Amino acid sequence: MTPSLAQLAELVRQAEAKTRAKKIEAETQHAAEQFRAAEKRSRAALERMHAARPACTRALEQADSDEHLLKDLVRKLAQFKSSLTSDAEAERLIATSQAEIDRTRQEARAELDAAGRELDEARRELRTAVDAYRQHRRELERLQPELLEQFADADRLLWDAESHFPGGQLQLLAHEVEAGVHAYANLAKLEQYARLKVWIGRFRYHQAGPDRDAGNAEEMQALAHKVFQQLKWLSRQYEPGYIEAFRQDFTTDWAAYVAEAQEQLVHAVEAQRRARAEAADQPPHARARLAAESNGPRAEPDRADHEHDHPDEADDDGRGESGD
């Protein structure tokens, strides 16, 4: 290939990349909107099921109890039939009672079936929307990482969306940790600290919530143990800073804790991006200084030195025993 032809090919590649970058931003925005709409519908369907299940269960139990009582009354009625003033009236009341019991049972089952179908459909739609958003987000991260901050709300919603699936939040956390372990060493110190704080906060949120007992209990406990061991290893290996959520005796509003950690992560990522952009315009001797400064001060250094010991670690399966 001649030099001029190589230059032309590079110009075409750059133009294609810019065009694709603009397109993927719009596609990611559209995918995020569809994801939000699907999450809203799924949340409504889940709330309907949560309301319908206990009410319909009570109605079915009452129908069974009424039917048992009706059979008992019919049996007694046969014993004292000679003393009845009107056989026709008794037969009418029996038929009416049975019809009412059958109607109650049918309505309760119909509501449960309808709520179940709606939830299944909403979950399928949500899973499709989540997968599409993740795919577009990965492409956006590759082409225009500086635009990721505008999708921070959608990223946070991914965690909430997984609560719509049995065991979903823990499975999502396990996937994120597994995917991020190898790249963790390359992160700036403040980003390491914030990312690990998000992960351990989500783990404790899972422990404290109803999702921890969802799905296969043994499988979920094994997965929780694996995730906690990975988080503990990252903390000991890289010592990003003291994180109180590793302590079993520490408790808080875990949703707020995770939200705060996510904000810290966004700021850390943005600070690192600005540092890289600034370093690119500096002479070589100044780049090392800027790279060191971009790591920032170590979080709570007076306590971080003892972080790797993890006294009173959070138990990894939520059953009250310290993880080893």
132-169 residue pLDDT tens: 998 998 888 877 777 888 888 888 888 778 778 878 88
Model confidence band, residue 301 (pLDDT cutoffs 50, 70, 90): very low
Give the pLDDT confidence score for residue 322 in this predicted structure: 36
Its pTM stands at: 0.57
What is d(CA 189, CA 212) in angstroms, rounded to the nearest whole number? 31
- For 294, residues 6+ apart whose C-beta sits below 8 A from its C-beta are 188, 271, 272, 275, 276, 279
- In one-letter notation, the amino acid at residue 220 is M
Model confidence band, residue 15 (pLDDT cutoffs 50, 70, 90): confident
Give the pLDDT confidence score for residue 110 in this predicted structure: 96
Model confidence band, residue 297 (pLDDT cutoffs 50, 70, 90): very low
Angle between helices 87-143 and 152-162 (to 10 degrees): 140
Give the pLDDT confidence score for residue 285 in this predicted structure: 61
Give the residue ranges of DSSP H helices in the chain: 3-79, 87-143, 152-162, 168-180, 189-208, 217-238, 254-280, 284-294, 301-304
Q: Where are the domains of the chain?
A: 1-146, 166-324
- In one-letter notation, the amino acid at residue 182 is H
What is d(CA 78, CA 250) in angstroms, rounded to the nearest whole number? 67
Taking only the tens place, the pLDDT of each residue in 70-117 is 999 999 888 888 787 778 888 999 999 999 999 999 999 999 999 999
- In one-letter notation, the amino acid at residue 170 is L
Do residues 248 and 314 lie in contact, with contact meaning Cβ atoms separated by under 8 Å? Answer: yes
What is d(CA 229, CA 236) in angstroms, rounded to the nearest whole number? 11
- The CATH-assigned architecture of domain 1-146 is Orthogonal Bundle (1.10)
Q: Alpha carbon of 60 to those of 94, 178, 195, 202: distances in Å?
A: 19, 45, 48, 38
